[in-house]
Amino acid sequence: MAEITTVPFGPQHPVLPEPVHLDLELKDEKVVRAIPSIGYVHRGLEKLVEKRDFKQFTFVAERVCGICSFGHGWGYVKAVEGLMGIEVPRRASYLRTLWHELSRVHSHLLWLGLAADAMGFESLFMTAWRLRETVLDLFEETTGGRVIFSVCKVGGVRRDLTGAMRTEMEEKLKGMRKEFRAMSDVFLHDGTIQSRLAGIGVLSLQDARDFGCLGPMARASGLPLDYRCADDEGAYKDLHFRPVTEQAGDCLARVKVRLEEIEQSVGLILGCLENLPDGPVEVPVKGFPPAGEYFTRVEQPRGEAVYYVKGNGTRNLERFRLRTPTNGNLPGLVKILQGCDLADVPNIILTIDPCISCCER
Amino acid sequence: MQQQFIEIQPDGLPERVARFKKEGCRLVQILCTRVEGGYELTYSFDRNYFLYHLRLTLPEGASVMSVTTMFWYAFVWENEIHDLFGLDIRFISEDVDYRGHFFHLAEKTPWHELQKAAHAKQAFKVDLRGGLGIDAAAIRKDAPDGTDNGKGV
Amino acid sequence: MAFETKSPWLIHYDGSSCNGCDIEVLACLTPLFDVERFGIVNTGNPKQADIFLVTGGVNAQNLPVVRQIYDEMAEPKVVVAVGTCACSGGVFRECYNMMGGMDKAIPVDVFVPGCAARPEAIIDGVVKGLALLDEKHRNLKASKTYGVSEDDPRTIGGVRE
């Protein structure tokens, strides 16, 4: 009988772009228990609402995380708009959906690259990130920023799409989709990737329910949990959105879900461009948020995020709270790490797509 | 978004949560807010994208039962509330009770202080001191183990 | 020109930030920006690194981590603080758990502003850091005790305490 050895993992680790620490209790090569410890990125930005104007805070909310930055901005303004009873123009909702889906494509491509890098597949990492630059170019062209572009504001969006931008976006996305399909073939059929991912870190449907998993992680286990189905603000209802699911629940299934979601998101963006309604992109906002509270949700690339705002009639909000998807996926990660090999730990951690700065805020 | 608030007493929490668990609801989040003279807790449950919120108010110095026996993954939020607000949560499941070491903060329970109403007026004053690396030189000299790499020597 | 400056190795650590600058640092390594044409390679090991690219501010928990990575790096070394948060604390300066910019923890040589810092700016910062690295290398070689920097305040009379 081997003794239990504790191996620290992180906060600085080659596969982790962001700091998180795990204490791995090992028996020989098998992980018996993993204890996460967080707090390396905790800033306490929720408390900043007391010092910032409710309009200024949009910029802080976007900086919760640099990868899903647009979604956090959207979630925050959606909550404030709900509290103030502002109806956003339809064109603005479509544009928000469009940028949100573009963010999802960028986030998933980024993640696919990192996952390939964790396996040591350097050229695939480079390919994925090269494709991602197409999306960033589109962001830069339409909004002016690359990763954080502050285009959402209370009452609408700051920028509008011109006709030339629309045609160029369509062309570039169709070109990217072609290259992306070639790349996804490698993920789906390459022997090395199969042997590194198939059957590793299996999360059953029941466990996904019991451990409160969200987003692609839950969907890879067959749990069709996607807030976009119930979203009433964005364009998802008009575009007949259906969540992507896989049944296997292993690392490969999580890769497959994300590959398919990129395809789906490109489809949604093209649909948005086709059906983009005419009209204004913003409404004037007068006064301060009234006393009251409001909950809202947004489906981020990593899963569902919950936003809560509480106003008191002044220019500052009283409370802002954000429950991020990684926060909900952390218990699931602890579960799937139990019983895996030490060598698979980096892969498994990456396949939940941890976003630590989201998680700790 | 479709939602419903249910006001309950702190004693009734475990029983209510157990009922939600039995009906197959998912615990979405636990929210803690400081209010005058105590805390306000909101437990949100989801079923078919409908949110049910259990709302309870606790006086200063009170404690509340943990729900980790029913929803194990609630430990993330319960530990967070304990660390940030200083609210005592009893019987967090033994294997995931961090006992105040979940977030390592320089300042303990930063949310415990009630928000000052004066903040509202100060919001527009922006403090521009301590900008781009201004205090770097001062730090290099007196930091106990800061090393000076002799820039410009 | 010293050997280090021909092929400097990078180590990257994310402090307390949103990860906007991190992904831009990684984007520098990928085909569009491609810092490998300057011989720059990303490494995960502080002992092999010459340039410490650090994003985000300092808080109580990551302060020892940053200092440890800095101490583990061999002389000569250059620290490049990427992004407004690493320069001064940025939008999070007034948050309760932020101590400020990276200069509160370790001596920073090059500050790269921007939120998020653009890859062009990061590459420019690294190239500026290379000139410093070269200078530090020469100083180190010229010092009597090779291997121990004379500029290090912990060094007294050529002997490290």
Work out whether the CA dihedral C23, A147, A246, A349 comes out positive or negative: positive
Largest CA distance in chain C: 48
Structural domain includes residue A9: no
Is the separation of the CB atoms in B45 and B74 below 8 Å? no
- Contact (CB<8Å) B111/A323: no
Measured CA to CA, the distance from residue C147 to residue C161 in angstroms comes to: 14
Measured CA to CA, the distance from residue A300 to residue A293 in angstroms comes to: 22
pTM for the full model? 0.84
pLDDT digit string (tens) for B35-63? 888 888 888 888 888 888 888 888 887 88
Q: How high is the pLDDT of residue B136?
A: 41
Measured CA to CA, the distance from residue C70 to residue B147 in angstroms comes to: 10
Is the separation of the CB atoms in A3 and A30 below 8 Å? no
Contacting subunits of B (3+ beta carbon pairs below 8 A) = A, C
Number of H helices, E strands in chain A: 12, 8
Q: Which residues of B touch A37 (CB under 8 A)?
A: 98, 101-102
Of C88, C94, C106, the CB nearest to B131: C88
Structural domain includes residue A5: no
What CATH number should be reported for the domain holding residue A307?
1.10.645.10
Residue A58, amino acid: T
- Per DSSP, the three-state class of A218 is helix
Q: Which residues of C touch A40 (CB under 8 A)?
A: 16, 59, 61-62, 65
Print pLDDT tens along chain A (361 aa).
Answer: 568 888 888 777 777 777 888 888 888 888 888 888 877 888 888 888 888 888 888 888 888 888 888 889 999 998 998 888 888 888 888 888 989 999 999 999 988 888 888 888 888 888 898 888 888 888 888 888 888 888 888 888 888 888 888 888 889 898 988 989 988 888 888 888 888 888 888 888 888 888 888 888 888 888 888 888 888 777 787 888 888 888 888 888 989 999 999 999 998 898 888 888 888 888 888 888 888 888 888 888 888 889 998 888 888 888 888 888 888 888 888 888 888 888 888 888 888 888 888 877 7
Q: How many CA atoms lie within 13 A of A45 on its CB side?
A: 30
Measured CA to CA, the distance from residue B79 to residue B98 in angstroms comes to: 7
Structural domain includes residue A140: yes
Contacts of A71 (CB under 8 A, 6+ apart): A100, A103, A298, A300, A301, A305
pLDDT digit string (tens) for B98-150? 777 777 777 777 777 765 443 444 444 444 444 443 344 444 444 444 344 43
Q: How high is the pLDDT of residue C2?
A: 63
Domain count, chain C: 1
Task: Tell me the shortest Cα–Cα distance from A248 to chain C, in angstroms.
Answer: 30
- Contact (CB<8Å) B72/A331: yes
Structural domain includes residue A193: yes
β-bridge mates for residue B59, sequence order: B38
pLDDT digit string (tens) for C76-102? 889 999 988 888 888 888 888 888 888
Question: Quick one: how far is CA B123 from the chain centroid?
Answer: 23
pLDDT of B152 over the 60 cut? no
What range does the domain containing A337 cover? 42-355
Helix (H), strand (E), coil (C) string for C136-158 = HHHHHHHCCCCCCCCCCCCEECC
Domain count, chain A: 1
Of A18, A44, A51, the CB nearest to C14: A18
Q: Which residue of C has its CA nearest to A41?
A: C16
Chain B interface disruption, residue of A20, A22, A38, most B CBs within 10 A: A38
Is the separation of the CB atoms in C14 and C66 below 8 Å? no
Query: Could you tell me the pLDDT band of residue C151, with boundaries at 50, 70 and 90?
Result: low
Contacting subunits of A (3+ beta carbon pairs below 8 A) = B, C
The secondary structure element, H or E, covering residue A121 is none
Is the separation of the CB atoms in A90 and A279 below 8 Å? yes
Strands of the C78-82 sheet, one edge to the other:
C41-42, C9-14, C51-55, C78-82, C110-112
Cα radius of gyration (chain C): 16
What range does the domain containing C97 cover? 3-160
DSSP state of A279: S
Q: What domains can you pick out in chain B, each with its CATH number? A: 3-114 (3.30.460.80)
Query: Whole-number mean pLDDT of chain B?
Result: 72
What CATH number should be reported for the domain holding residue C96?
3.40.50.12280
Q: How high is the pLDDT of residue C150?
A: 55
Distance in angstroms between the alpha carbons of the first and the last residue of chain C? 31
Burial class, B102, CB count within 10 angstroms (exposed 0-12 / middle 13-18 / buried 19+):
buried
**Token match 């390396």: residue?**
A40
**Phi/psi of residue A52, nearest 5 degrees:** -110, 145
Structural domain includes residue A241: yes
Structural domain includes residue A11: no
β-bridge mates for residue C155, sequence order: C160
Measured CA to CA, the distance from residue A127 to residue A136 in angstroms comes to: 15
Q: How high is the pLDDT of residue B114?
A: 65
